[in-house]
Chain A
Amino acid sequence: MATVTPDSPDTAHSPEEHASAGGHAHPSNWLYVKVAIYLALLTAFEVFTYFETVHGWGDTAIIIMLVIMMLLKFFLVVAFFMHLKFDSPIFWRLFVFGLILAMAVYMVMLTAFRFW
């Protein structure tokens, strides 16, 4: 009988990869749980900085910290949950191309409108 536990006992506490029926390797579910814990901790710290803003931290320091934590969360999800760390580098390049293109286009747009 199939179970709904995150993983079978032999892999539940192992960070090793296992091959899927689809053919490419997946990390174990325990690794996913660890990534989710990091994501939850980063989110909690992000929210903490919001309330610290109220208590008088400098805006620039807060923004830099928030951007670093946002990027960490972003890349944790992309690398592990979206399997880019384990998949073909072509997928990584395609996504990063779109991401960099978007950032470049809108940085130029915001600069043209004297946002900074």
Chain B
Amino acid sequence: MTAEAPAHTPEHHDGEHHTSTGLSNEKLAMWVFLGSECLLFGGLISTYMFNKGRIGPDDVGPNDVFDIPFTSVSSFVLLMSSLTMVFAVSSIARGDLRGNRIWLTTTAALGATFVAGQVYEFTAFYSEGLGFTTNLFGSAFYALTGFHGAHVTIGIVMLMSLLVMSMRGNLGPERAETVEIIGLYWHFVDIVWIVIFTIVYLFPQ
């Protein structure tokens, strides 16, 4: 598959696409997917909101387990990974392949740091007596943050795939849109965490 073959290059040089809308079908599909993901996370967040207070007087609750300074740092790490992701997108758009590889690696590393923090947090909560089936708060909390963590992990796998493509010479400036589309997914998991961090961790319990 080469950039020169018209059948495999959906873009004109001026950014127009050979589609009925004039837009990239892949990008359109990603936005539709992200719109549908709002429903998934909306369901999980509202389930958490509904169940977080449904615990007995001696049950383990949010105030017993949450470590806000620790989660604030991991939230900041994920937020900054969005910045490195836009650098990865803009570097490939400029044709800076080395820069693109470095920013992709940095983004994946920041994402992995966030996931490692989440694993540590889950382990700490479990040792403090909050299991998945301990109470409704635990079930809703682990389901919501676990689904989000799974999304971040999938994002890391996609970033590493881009890196492998780049190392093999299959990711040049003509494929900048591929990086941009993966970037959209990455930013989406970031905005979902913005909502989760506020509603789950910072709202007064």
Contacts and interface: CB of A to CB of B under 8 A. Distances in A.
Contacts of A113: 50
Given A47-B202, A109-B46, A115-B49, A22 B194 contact: no
A61 to B, nearest CB: 10
A105 to B, nearest CB: 7
Nearest to B186: A81
B162 interface: no
B176 A90 contact: no
Contact of A7 (B90, B177, B194, B201): B90
Contact of A90 (B23, B34, B195): B23
A74 B194 contact: yes
Contacts of B83: 32-33, 35-36, 81
Contact of B72 (A24, A43, A59, A78): A43
Contacts of A40: 76, 79-80
A34 to B, nearest CB: 10
B195 A70 contact: yes
Contacts of B28: 90-91, 94
A87 to B, nearest CB: 8
B99 A106 contact: no
A74 B195 CA distance: 8
Interface string B29-51: 00110111111011101100110
A4 B75 CA distance: 25
Contacts of B94: 8, 20-21
Contacts of A2: 91, 95-99
Contacts of B103: 4
Interface residues of A, number: 61
Contacts of B46: 106, 109-110
Contact of B204 (A53, A73, A94): A53
B13 interface: yes
A50 B42 contact: no
B27 interface: yes
Contacts of B35: 94-95, 97-99, 101
22 contacts: A4-B103, A8-B94, A23-B16, A29-B87, A29-B90, A32-B83, A32-B86, A32-B87, A43-B75, A50-B68, A59-B204, A63-B204, A74-B194, A77-B82, A82-B184, A91-B31, A98-B32, A98-B36, A101-B39, A102-B38, A103-B42, A105-B42
Interface of A: 1-8, 19-24, 26, 29, 32-33, 35-36, 39-40, 43, 46-47, 49-51, 53, 59, 62-63, 66-67, 69-70, 73-74, 77-78, 80-83, 88, 90-91, 94-95, 97-99, 101-103, 105-106, 109-110, 113, 115
**A-B complex: 10 closest residue pairs judged by Cβ atoms:** A23-B15, A98-B35, A20-B93, A102-B42, A21-B173, A106-B46, A102-B38, A70-B198, A2-B96, A22-B176
